[in-house]
Structure formats: structure tokens, C-alpha cells
Amino acid sequence: MSFNLAWYCSFFLVLVLIFVPIIGVTAGLEVVFGIIIPYLAILIFFVGMVYKVVIWARTPVPFRIPTTCGQQKSLPWLKRTLRDRLENPFTTWEVIGRMILEVFFFRSLFRNIKAQLRDEPSYPEKKRLVYWSSKWLWLGAIAFHYSFLVILIRHLWLFTEPVPSFVRLVEHIDSFFQLYVPAVYISGIVLIVALTYLLLRRIFDPKLRYISLFSDYLPLFWLLAIGISGILMRYFFKVDMTAVKELTLGLASLHPHIPKEHIGVIFYVHLFLVSSFFAYFPFTKLAHMAGIFMSMTRNLANNNRAVRHVNPWNYPVRVKTYLDQENDWREDMAKFGLPLEISVEEAKKLGKEKLEELADEEAARLYNKLSGNRHAPVFPETEFLRKQIKEE
Amino acid sequence: MAAIPKPEELANISFRPPGRKWMDTKPEFKEGTHCHAAAPKWLEWLDYPFPRSWSTYDEDWKLPKNWKEIFLVGFNDRLNKYRSLRLFMDICVRCGACADKCQFFLGTGDPKNMPVLRAELMRSLYRRYHTTAGKILGRLAGARELTEDVVKELYYYLYQCSECRRCSAFCPYGIDMADITILGRELLSSIGLGIEWAMASVGSCFKIGSHIGSPPHAFKDMLEFFADECEVVTGIRPRVPVNEKGHEILFIMPSGDYFADPGTFNCMGYLLLFEYLDLDYTISTFAAEGGNFGYFISHEMGKRLNAKFYAEAKRLGVKWILGGECGHMWRVINQYMDTWNGPADFLEEPVSPITGTKFENAKSTKMVHICEFTADLIKHGKLNLDPSRNAHIVLTFHDSCNPARAMGLLEEPRYIIKNVLPPGHFYEMPENTIREKNFCCGSGSGFNADEYLPIRLRGGFPRASAVRYVHEKYGVNHVGMICAIDRAVFPPLMDYWVPGVDITGIHELVGNALVFPGERERVVDLRKRPLKGKEKEAEKFLEEVM
């Protein structure tokens, strides 16, 4: 197995991210790593996410293109199951149901199947494609996202005083198994296991290794480093948690200060990894967190035939009209007894130019203004560039 | 044409990617691996950019001088017009869930046919020209320069995606490769790169009236011929109303239904059904094409062909439109027509004149699928059907990609099938290959070309493999389908992978089963094959009529 450049680069970048705060804090830059960078990171995260969402949101959705995965609503007597309604929504409520399934339960990933080309000596082609239900990726993804969410919620105790009861409740449930003192949080273990699985499949599945980029390995290493530094801090290299809370509460209440008591450098490593991760988040594939809500194959109802969808930039295209066809084939059409708008004799009298004019008139009558006309440009967005060539 | 290897060799597929990085591999334009270049004639007919003679086998594709600028301006324009494109470029996490869902990947093992990588071909350009990381880090960020080689690669692989959307059903974010493919093909066609089969069909449809380029009188003549054939088999000669004004319904079918067998038998099925109902309808020689190969080239071209539907409905003064069995035609009608060319406020909300059922799901578009129409007739007991006339058929049903994943037309055709076939004559293929998980025929989105047969057979392998399964297990001898491209491309696909399995449209089965008052005793089906138990009579009958 050979690691590629993307793997090495992302691994070493995370190593660098670990060493930067060690050097910085040793040099006495606690204010930079404890206050300035976290604030900057949060700012970048929010501004970045809003920027990203605004860019998506202001880009129009010209067509309503849901991917349908169940029976459509059609005839009044044709019964649809709940599954059909959630996988092929017709109403807004059904769309909301579909989105809940996607966002909270990763419905589409749960559909996953694995194809296998199996030997089948009795078939002339000697092979047969079979498909297995394959939920590992779904399980890994669910385990990772939910443990990450639980960990985020747990960390709220650092930023609140008094600590809200739901945070205490999550902490309590998360440390249900009292294996060790301090209590071991299950979410931390699940996170590390899930991330390791997600990383290993990228490395060991040849297909995935082939498609994986630097930006695919990087967040996995990054999150692993965040998780491991947190675990080390909690169970092994303990730091003064009162001092930590003093710092974090100061950040949250906008009265930031570095506590007098010394906090171990591992804390600053953890904090810097988290801060930099947040700052990195909006500009990468991780923006899928917000993007999934905007996916038009999921968040639109399959009711196109009942409710018209409007394309804000719909523009007229070049069309032909029925009269064009009749003008081209009039005599043959007459011979075969097809009804005509203009008889053969009359057409002869009118002449070519007049017939053209009539075709324009007919087109204007039959076609919607935004639909088309006989002289509209082709690919208007690049028409000027094509003209340039012609002129030269 | 390239020699086609034996099934055993073709099915020997490896899903292991090569050692070399994908950015360092180039497709080889050998015979049988790609569709041929479009001839200038069609582009001229369409006023399409840069008509010229060129060949995919040449090093020089004779691109226009400022092709790169046109491509990049077009790309930028589309990023600002289609949220889908921008979003799908941004949020893919390369989880690989789509990788083994594509029939072209399963059939060729070519890693660039994994939907994720096919999209990366475009995404790498997006990163290079629209993201800071891509501009600075280049290849490390997965970005690459737009070069002629990249354009050739896009041509190769975007025309190895049949826009079936199977990957989209499995993608956790619903990323729709079909949409990326369409937009990529738009960009290719804006610099004069198109495939012959699609461009010829589009040109003919635009200028003459249908993909097959049959002039209006020839179209009428064909329909009359089918009516004659109906009369031979059933003793009833259905009316063929063409371009007649003042009827209630405009019927539009794909040209595949009047062009070649077995689609033509399906057309006979339509004509017989309408005659049986004494339906007040007309067919148009101008809107003579339900299919829309324009949609396989660009959204704009799709709209240009589709515009005919409403214009012709207006000219002929009908109340609503009924559409035949076709796949992508129905994706266009269901998801695009009203947006492109509507509102169709001059039409009325469709109501079945026979059962009185309001098609409320089509109240804006005003176009009804014939399977919805016929299923409703059967439900209300309006058809006298004799399923025993289909007793020689053991059927499986191939869901067509677009009605399945861009519409959800799943139960209507099945309902019809169950009513026109004797009990125990219908078997489903394995669950993971039907309905929303169906496999494409391997020739969708403009791939019917002969020169492309080797790839079509590979792309069709997953579907054929599932047919093979029910063929062996239940003795299935027919695959039923509601798509004209399917009906055109399945025969060679089956001849190659599962010989002995025949293809049928659903309304052909309806035509067989329909009992007319005063008809002659049926001894053969619409294809003049003897009915079960009527072999002797059929022999005599065929001697008489042949």
C-alpha cells in the first residue's frame, strides 16, 4: 500500500498545527492562542458560513428537480404508503419529513448497497452481479456526526454559568458507564473509532484511495488530533479545569483574560486545533453541513405538474413554428390528405417572403413570450465571444 | 465497427483502479469507446455554434480560436444561474457511496465512470478557476488547468453518463450527476463538440418534426400502415386523426413508437385503445416527437424542442395533452416543460372523458401519462380485457430511469400489467435493480449509435444480469418497458446477454388483451405470433394474410 502526496501533506499539516501552539505558548503568547485566535476563528466561521449560504441562496433554482424514490401522487385511487410520501414528497410537509430523514438519519446513505461481481458458472457469461445491503458507511457516518454533536453540547459547560440542565443531562448520559475516574465519555471513544474507520476505508479501499484528495484526509487527521488531544487532557495530562473555565467563560462573556494559574500546554494545543478547524470549515467540503439543506434534489416537492415552478432567468429560445413545417412540405401534405393552414394555390400566390412573415406572426401568436421566437439567439451568454471570431 | 468480444470476456470486469493518478490518465479514442463527432449539417440546421467537419480520432479537434474563453465564460455563467451546479461543486465529500451505483462503472470498471470521479472532472476546473485554494495550491487542492486534453476527457466521460440519476438516489446530499452532465455537455456544445447520434436526432426533430426525420406525410403514412396492420389482426381498423383541429386531446408519442419494432406494436396498442374508447383526439405532425434529445445536449436545446408541445396544442385548439410511453420525455414533461414553456393557461385541467377522473397531479402542466390514463380506465372497469391473449408472455418489468427517479411512475404500469397478463405471468427482477434502484439500459441520453455498441453492452450489463436471473429462475421471456429508447436498445442488449428474451411496450400488451365488440376471433397477437392454444388456427390465418 502506498500513501500518496495528499496523505502525507495532510498528515504533516496537522503535525504543524500541533507544534505551532506548543512553540507559541512556550514563548509566552498565551493571549494570542487563548484569546485572539479563538475569537478570529469563530468570526471566520460565522462570516464564512453566512457568505457561503448567501452565495448559494442568491443563485437561482431554475428547475424543480427532485430525485424521486417512491410512488408519485397521481390517481386519486392509487394509495401511497408513508414511505412513498417521504421519498417522493408532494406537499411541503412531506418535504419536511424527507429532509428530517436526510439530515438526522442520513436516509440516502442508509439505502447504500454494495455491488459484487460473482462467479456463476451456469451462466454463459460466467458472472453475475449481486448486491448486498451495506450499512457500514452509514453507521460510521452516523456514529461520527452524533458523537461530535454530543461532544459539542458537552463543551457548553465551559461557556455557561450556571450550566444549563440539558448539558448536564447529556454529560450524565454520555458517562453512563463508570469505567474509570474521571468518568469516561462514550462519545469520545465513538468519535475516535468512527474517525479511524472513515480514515481506514479511505486508505484501504482502492476506489476511495483513488478519489481521495488532500482535503479529504486533512479533516480526518485534524479531528483525530482534536479528539486525541481532548482525551489526553481529560484522562492523562490533566490541566487546571478551574483555570480553563475561567478562560472560556471570559471568552463567552466577552471579557477575555488569561487566568493567573498556569494551564498546561496541551490545552492550548487542543484549543488551537479546534479554532483553526472552525476557521477552515466554511471554505471546504465541510460546508455540506449547511449545503444539505439546500440540495434541490431533496428539498423540493415532486409536484411540478400541479404547481408551476418559475425560472427567474427564463429566456426566449429559437424555435420553429408549424407553418415552417407546412411551408417545407405543403404539396406532399396535401397529397396525403393532411389539413393545411394555407392551401397550395394560396401559398404560391403569397410567395416566399410573405410566408416567412406569416410564420413569424404565427410564432408570436402561438409561443409564450419567454418561450421562444424564430430569431432568438443561441447560447446568448457566449454569443458575443462567437461573434468576435466571425468578425476576425 | 469494432469487434465485440464474447459475453464471457466482456463480463470479466475488474473494479480495481490503475496505479496512475486519475489526472495523469487520458482516455484513448479507440473505435467502440466513444460516440462519433457530429456532422456540420445538423449544427447548421440548428444555428448551433461552430459547425465543421472534425473527427474524434484526429489529434486536432478544430476547436474555435477562443474556445477556452467561451468554455470558462459559459461555466461561470452557469454557476451563477444554477444553484445545483454551484452546490454540487462545493459539497461533495467523496464518501464513495455513488461509486458502484453507476452501470457504466459496473460494466467497464473504468474509475472515471464512478459518478464521484466523473463529477471531479468538472469539479477540478471549478476549483482551479473559482476557489482560492485551487488557484494557489493547484493540483494538491484537486484543481487543474483547462486544456484540450481535459475537454477531450469531458467529451469521453460525459457521454458515458446516461443521466439516469441512480447515483443521485444514493448520494447523502442528493448530488445529481445528471445535472452536472447536462451542464458539462452544454459547455462542450457551446464550443462545437457534439455527438453525431444526438445532434442528427435533434437537427431532424427541429427542422423536420421528429428525431427520425420523417416528413409529415411519411409520418401519416406510417400511422395508416399500423392501422392496416391492426385491421389484419383484429378486424378493426382504428381511425388515425392527424393535424385535425377542434378535438379534446392532443396525443404525443416518441418517434421510437412509429419508427421500428417493437415500438411500432406499442403504437398499434395506442391506436386500438383510442379506437375502443372512441377518444376525441388528434396526433400532430409538428409535435410528432415526444422524446427530446435536445435535453441531452443543453437545457436550451431541450427547451427549443419542447416548445412545440404547447404551441401545437394551442394551434389545434385541444383541451389537454396525453403523452405516450417514453422515459426522458417524461422527465422533461414532469420537471421542465411548464417552467420552460408554460404557463399553459389556454388549456384545461385534464379530465378523463371516459371515467371522469380529474388528473389533479397534472392540473398545471396539463399533460397526462398514458399509463396513468389507462390504469384509471382499468380501475373503473372501462376496458374489456382478455389476459389469456398474453398467455405466451412471461414478463418482467424494467423501470425506466426517468419515470422512476424523476417522477415516481412505478405502480401505474404495474397495475396495467397485472390486468392484461394472466396470473403468474409477471415476475419482478431482484429488489436492488428495480424501482428507484433500477439500472439504465446503458444507452440512454443519446447513445443509441451503432459505433458505441461495445460500451452500450457494458453499460447494459447490470440490467441484463438481472434479466438473466429472472429468465433462468422463472422462465421470463419478455421484458416490458415504458421507454422508447429502451425498446430500441434492449433488443441488441438481450440478443447479446440473454438471447431468447423479447421486448415489449405496455400498451402492446393492452392492445393484445383488448376485446372489441364485433372483432374477428384473434388467433395471433399484434406481432402476428400465434396465441397460446390457437397455434393451428394461427397457421391457417397467417397463410391467408401473408
C-alpha dihedral (A252, A253, A254, A257), degrees to nearest 10 = -80
Question: Residue B6 contacts by C-beta under 8 Å, 6 or more apart in sequence?
Answer: none
Work out whether strand B281-283 and strand B367-369 pair parallel, antiparallel, or are unpaired.
unpaired
Packing angle between helix B83-91 and helix A37-58, nearest 10 degrees?
A: 150
**Chain A residues 287-326 with a CB less than 8 Å from chain B:** 287-288, 291-292, 294-298, 302-311, 313-314, 317-322, 325-326
Question: Residue A89 contacts by C-beta under 8 Å, 6 or more apart in sequence?
Answer: A66, A95, A97, A98, A301, A302
Answer for the pair B294, B205: CB distance below 8 angstroms, yes or no. Answer: yes
pLDDT at A314 over 90: yes
Looking at residue A178, what is its pLDDT?
A: 67
- Inter-chain contact B73–A56, Cβ cutoff 8 Å? no
Helix (H) or strand (E) holding B369: strand B367-369
Q: How many residues does chain B have?
A: 546
Please tell me the distance from the alpha carbon of residue B189 to that of residue B439, in angstroms, as a whole number.
27
Packing angle between helix A186-204 and helix A136-154, nearest 10 degrees?
A: 140
Pick the CATH number of A5-294 from 3.90.420.10, 1.10.260.40, 1.20.950.20, 1.25.40.10: 1.20.950.20
Looking at residue A238, what is its pLDDT?
A: 85
**Chain A residues 345-374 with a CB less than 8 Å from chain B:** 362-363, 366-368, 371-372
Q: Which spans in B191-284 are helix H?
A: 196-207, 216-234, 256-259, 263-277
Please tell me the distance from the alpha carbon of residue B221 to that of residue B228, in angstroms, as a whole number.
11
- β-bridge mates for residue B503, sequence order: B479
The phi, psi pair for A372, rounded to 5°, reads 180, 165
CB nearest to B436's CB, from A62, A70, A308: A70
For the sheet containing B249-252, what is the strand order? B281-283, B249-252, B320-323, B367-369
Where are any strands of DSSP class E within chain A? Answer: 113-119, 127-133, 317-318, 372-373
Closest CA to B28 of B124, B109, B149: B149
- β-bridge mates for residue B322, sequence order: B251, B368
Answer for the pair A233, A261: CB distance below 8 angstroms, yes or no. Answer: no
In angstroms, the separation between the Cα of residue A10 and the nearest Cα of chain B is: 10
In angstroms, the separation between the Cα of residue A347 and the nearest Cα of chain B is: 18
- Inter-chain contact A283–B132, Cβ cutoff 8 Å? yes
CB nearest to B73's CB, from A78, A292, A385: A385
ipTM associated with this complex: 0.93
**Chain B residues 321-340 with a CB less than 8 Å from chain A:** 333-336, 338-340
What grid cell was written down for A93?
410537509
Using CA atoms, how far residue B222 sits from A242, B264, B511, in Å, is 89, 9, 18
Residue in chain B nearest A322 by alpha carbon: B286
**Chain B residues 345-404 with a CB less than 8 Å from chain A:** 357-365, 367, 369, 372, 375-376, 379, 404
Where are any strands of DSSP class E within B377-517? Answer: 395-398, 478-481, 502-505
Q: Does A110 touch chain B (CB under 8 A)?
A: no
Q: Which residues of A touch B406 (CB under 8 A)?
A: 65-68
CB nearest to A212's CB, from B94, B140, B405: B94
CATH 1.20.950.20 intervals, chain A: 5-294
| Residue A1 pLDDT class (50, 70, 90 cuts) | very low
Which pLDDT tens digit goes with each residue over B371-395?
Answer: 999 999 999 999 999 999 999 999 9
Maximum Cα interatomic distance, chain A, rounded to a whole number of Å? 104
3-state DSSP assignment of residue B480: strand
Please tell me the distance from the alpha carbon of residue B290 to that of residue B258, in angstroms, as a whole number.
11
Q: How far is CA B316 from the centre of its chain?
A: 27
Identity at B505, one-letter amino acid code: G
Q: Around A59, how many Cα atoms within 13 Å sit in the side-chain half-sphere?
A: 22
- Inter-chain contact B220–A336, Cβ cutoff 8 Å? yes
Q: How far is CA B423 from the centre of its chain?
A: 29
What grid cell was written down for B446?
443519446
Q: Best mutation site among A75, A98, A326 for testing chain B: the one with the most B CBs within 10 Å?
A: A75
Please tell me the distance from the alpha carbon of residue A324 to that of residue B270, in angstroms, as a whole number.
28
CB nearest to B11's CB, from A4, A127, A298: A127
Which pLDDT tens digit goes with each residue over B240-259?
Answer: 999 999 999 999 999 999 99
Q: How many residues does chain A have?
A: 392
Report the sign of the C-alpha dihedral through residues A200, A204, A209, A214, in that order.
Answer: positive
pTM over 0.90: yes
Answer for the pair A94, A86: CB distance below 8 angstroms, yes or no. Answer: yes
Q: Does B462 touch chain A (CB under 8 A)?
A: yes
Q: Does A134 touch chain B (CB under 8 A)?
A: no
In angstroms, the separation between the Cα of residue A62 and the nearest Cα of chain B is: 6
pLDDT values of chain B reduced to their tens digit, one per residue, 546 residues: 567 889 999 999 999 998 889 999 999 999 999 999 999 999 999 999 999 999 999 999 999 999 999 999 999 999 999 999 999 999 999 999 999 999 999 999 999 999 999 999 999 999 999 999 999 998 999 999 999 999 999 999 999 999 999 999 999 999 999 999 999 999 999 999 999 999 999 999 999 999 999 999 999 999 999 999 999 999 999 999 999 999 999 999 999 999 988 999 999 999 999 999 999 999 999 999 999 999 999 999 999 999 999 999 999 999 999 999 999 999 999 999 999 999 999 999 999 999 999 999 999 999 999 999 999 999 999 999 999 999 999 999 999 999 999 999 999 999 999 999 999 999 999 999 999 999 999 999 999 999 999 999 999 999 999 999 999 999 999 999 999 999 999 999 999 999 999 999 999 999 999 999 989 999 999 999 999 999 999 999 999 887
Looking at residue A175, what is its pLDDT?
A: 86
Which pLDDT tens digit goes with each residue over A224-249?
Answer: 999 999 999 988 888 899 999 999 99
In angstroms, the separation between the Cα of residue A278 and the nearest Cα of chain B is: 17
In angstroms, the separation between the Cα of residue A377 and the nearest Cα of chain B is: 9
CB nearest to B407's CB, from A72, A209, A372: A72
Answer for the pair B541, B517: CB distance below 8 angstroms, yes or no. Answer: no
Residue in chain B nearest A212 by alpha carbon: B94
- Inter-chain contact A368–B342, Cβ cutoff 8 Å? yes
Q: How far is CA A131 from the centre of its chain?
A: 26
Maximum Cα interatomic distance, chain B, rounded to a whole number of Å? 80
Looking at residue A3, what is its pLDDT?
A: 61
Q: How far is CA B285 from the centre of its chain?
A: 21
Which pLDDT tens digit goes with each residue over A61-98?
Answer: 999 999 999 999 999 999 999 999 999 999 999 999 99
